[in-house]
């Protein structure tokens, strides 16, 4: 799906009909992501020929999408604004001024739609032309950009790029769910009557009040991570001015890389769970040296889809990578936890912003390659989550930065996670049916897996991965083979 197969029809903007100026301070949950790469997703939708003919699509479908987008932005106006750092302010803000708008690219692709929907590994670059660029400079950064791409007589794709310091996965999917809801259910509003902005159901209304987030000192810890210093070490050639807002270069890994989607069904997860629990008491965790005091929990009666998916996938990636490149033998994994329900007091589920906190799994870097690596990593991940639930999400926060620095110095490859199998992305119906495929494109910017629920059944999970071609081939063999062995 090379970019020369893409024809740009129009570059336009969409604004909320009549939103007042809004300014939201970024809180400590947001600041970690201030110069991080954006999150890029694609939603693919199949259309009947009556709607996917180019002349009908651009005359009927696109206006409906743009009009409902405008009315959704009335409820989510910060998404049309920018990240700014006002003079005299200690923190950046997300600011919407009347007249601000979201960039929307309208395009047409000659690429094979079925190929785009196929889970089989394909060139990692294929998806790149379907997500828009997010503008940023030293002084400001856009919050969101969209691209709507028609595959004539087959379907279309919505590519969405969002600034991670403004919203986490739960907030970005809340917005898309709200947009889909208004697009599907409101046929009678028109651009000529902005006062008749349709309402959202209460669970889709964003909650913007930042005062519900306590400061680190109020939460009882010192967030002594010097982000400027850390970024200067990681990106020595970039502007290290503490007030710089330009997104840092996390270039996609495209050359000789392929992108694939793998599925774990409910039966697969049951098989993995049984394998892990059958050896739970006989396989010891030898933990990372800096975390020898971590508590390993007793054998649980069940394990979450998240724990099983991450452990199984990461061990398969590590073993495949090591067999292709022998010197790759040290790995670590981290994850973020949604803190909305875990703060004291809990904050609303529809809180709009970042409310996730990360943690590293306590396992030694060679554990992923051991014969019982699956059991070790599953136990370690489960224990770390239980520790965060029992002792608080910020427990052990003082060790995080030194440990990360030590792993980086050792050359340890860090596995991360994007998305969630709980976001319900396959339910987002704009009026033409549910998505045929959802892809987190930005997993190609790091060693990250993208999670979504299983499109084809109530249980299970989809995993999106970008790997070097020979590593992907071996990974696929290990992934599938491990599900058939008893």
Q: Do the domain assignments include residue 433?
A: no
Query: Residue 388: what pLDDT?
Result: 93
Report yes or no: 338 and 174 within 8 Å, Cβ to Cβ: no
What is the extent of the structural domain holding 362?
Answer: 257-428+443-484
Report yes or no: 330 and 412 within 8 Å, Cβ to Cβ: yes
My answer on whether 225 and 265 are in the same domain is: no
My answer on whether 222 and 118 are in the same domain is: yes
My answer on whether 264 and 198 are in the same domain is: no
Domain boundary among 170, 202, 234: 234
Question: Is it the case that residue 123 has pLDDT exceeding 90?
Answer: yes
My answer on whether 188 and 263 are in the same domain is: no
Query: Residue 368: what pLDDT?
Result: 98
291, 295, 300, 305: CA torsion to nearest 10: -30
My answer on whether 324 and 193 are in the same domain is: no
Q: Do the domain assignments include residue 85?
A: yes
My answer on whether 228 and 262 are in the same domain is: no
Q: What is the tens place of the pLDDT at every residue in 373-421?
A: 999 999 999 999 999 999 998 888 877 778 888 888 899 999 999 999 9
User: What's the CA gap between 344 and 453, in Å, rounded?
Assistant: 29
Looking at the structure of the chain, the number of domains it has is 2
My answer on whether 230 and 262 are in the same domain is: no
My answer on whether 171 and 320 are in the same domain is: no
Query: Residue 482: what pLDDT?
Result: 95
Q: What is the pTM of this model?
A: 0.94
Q: Do the domain assignments include residue 103?
A: yes
Catalytic residue among 112, 123, 338, 429: 429
Would residue 268 show up in a list of annotated catalytic residues for this protein? no
Q: Return the axis-axis angle of helices 305-324 and 469-484, rounded to nearest 10°.
A: 130
Q: Do the domain assignments include residue 323?
A: yes
Q: What is the tens place of the pLDDT at every residue in 67-103?
A: 999 999 999 999 999 999 999 888 899 999 999 999 9
Listing DSSP states for 235-297 in one string gives -TTS---TT--PPP------TTEEEEEEEE-HHHHHHHHHHHHHTTTTS-----GGGTTPPPP
User: What's the CA gap between 438 and 463, in Å, rounded?
Assistant: 11
Measured from the Cβ of residue 15, the count of other Cβ atoms closer than 10 Å reads 18
Q: Which DSSP letter does residue 225 get?
A: -
Query: Residue 292: what pLDDT?
Result: 40
My answer on whether 17 and 124 are in the same domain is: yes
Q: Do the domain assignments include residue 66?
A: yes
Q: Do the domain assignments include residue 248?
A: no
Q: Tell me, what CATH number does 230's domain have? A: 3.30.559.10
Q: Do the domain assignments include residue 25?
A: yes
My answer on whether 41 and 161 are in the same domain is: yes
Catalytic residue among 164, 257, 322, 382: 164
Would residue 164 show up in a list of annotated catalytic residues for this protein? yes
Listing DSSP states for 381-425 in one string gives HHHHHHHHHHH-TTTTGGGHHHHHHHHHHHTPEEEEEEE-TTS-G
My answer on whether 99 and 222 are in the same domain is: yes
Q: Do the domain assignments include residue 438?
A: no
**Beta bridge partner(s), residue 292:** none
Cα-flanking dihedrals φ and ψ of residue 6, to 5°? Answer: -110, 130
Question: Is it the case that residue 239 has pLDDT exceeding 80?
Answer: no
- Report whether the peptide linkage leading into residue 345 is cis, meaning its omega lies within 30 degrees of zero: yes
My answer on whether 21 and 110 are in the same domain is: yes
């Amino acid at each position: 799906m090379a970019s020369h197969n893409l024809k740009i029809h129009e570059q336009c903007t969409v604004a909320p009909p009549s939103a007042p100026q809004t300014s939201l301070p970024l809180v400590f949950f947001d600041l970690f992501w201030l110069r991080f790469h954006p999150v890029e997703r694609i939603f693919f939708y199949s259309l009947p020929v009556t709607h996917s003919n180019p002349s009908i699509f651009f005359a009927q479908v696109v206006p409906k999408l743009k009009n409902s987008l405008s009315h959704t932005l009335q409820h989510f106006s910060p998404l049309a604004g920018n990240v700014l750092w006002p003079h005299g302010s200690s923190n950046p803000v997300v600011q919407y001024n009347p007249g601000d708008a979201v960039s929307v690219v309208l395009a047409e692709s000659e690429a094979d739609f079925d190929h785009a929907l196929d889970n089989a590994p394909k060139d990692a670059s294929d998806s790149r032309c379907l997500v828009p660029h997010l503008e940023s400079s030293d002084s400001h950064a856009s919050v969101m950009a969209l691209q709507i791409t028609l595959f004539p007589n087959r379907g279309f794709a919505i590519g969405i790029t969002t600034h991670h310091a403004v919203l986490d996965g739960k907030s970005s999917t809340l917005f898309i769910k709200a947009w889909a809801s208004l697009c599907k259910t409101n046929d009678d509003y028109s651009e000529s009557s902005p006062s008749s902005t349709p309402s959202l159901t209460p669970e889709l209304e964003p909650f913007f009040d930042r005062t519900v987030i306590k400061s680190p000192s109020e939460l009882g810890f010192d967030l002594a991570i010097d982000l400027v210093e850390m970024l200067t070490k990681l990106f020595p050639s970039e502007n290290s001015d503490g007030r710089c807002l330009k997104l840092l270069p996390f270039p996609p890994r495209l050359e000789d890389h392929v992108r694939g989607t793998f599925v774990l069904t409910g039966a697969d997860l049951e098989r993995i769970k049984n394998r892990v629990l059958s050896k739970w008491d006989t396989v010891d965790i030898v933990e990372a040296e800096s975390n020898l005091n971590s508590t390993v929990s007793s054998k649980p009666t069940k394990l979450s889809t998240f724990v099983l998916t991450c452990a199984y996938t990461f061990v398969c990636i590590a073993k495949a990578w090591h067999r292709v490149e022998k010197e790759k033998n040290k790995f670590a994994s981290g994850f973020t936890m949604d803190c909305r329900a875990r703060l004291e007091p809990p904050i609303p589920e529809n809180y709009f912003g970042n409310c996730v906190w990360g943690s590293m799994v306590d396992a030694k870097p060679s554990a992923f390659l051991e014969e019982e690596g699956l059991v070790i990593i599953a136990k370690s991940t489960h224990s770390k989550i239980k520790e965060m639930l029992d002792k608080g999400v910020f427990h052990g926060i003082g060790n995080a930065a030194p440990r990360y620095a030590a792993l980086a110095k050792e050359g340890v490859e860090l596995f991360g996670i994007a998305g969630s199998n709980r976001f319900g992305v396959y339910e987002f119906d704009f009026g033409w049916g549910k998505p045929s495929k959802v892809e987190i494109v930005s997993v190609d910017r790091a060693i990250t897996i993208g999670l979504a629920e299983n499109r084809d059944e109530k249980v299970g999970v989809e995993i999106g991965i970008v790997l070097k071609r020979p590593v992907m081939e071996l990974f696929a063999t290990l992934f599938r083979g491990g599900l058939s062995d008893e």
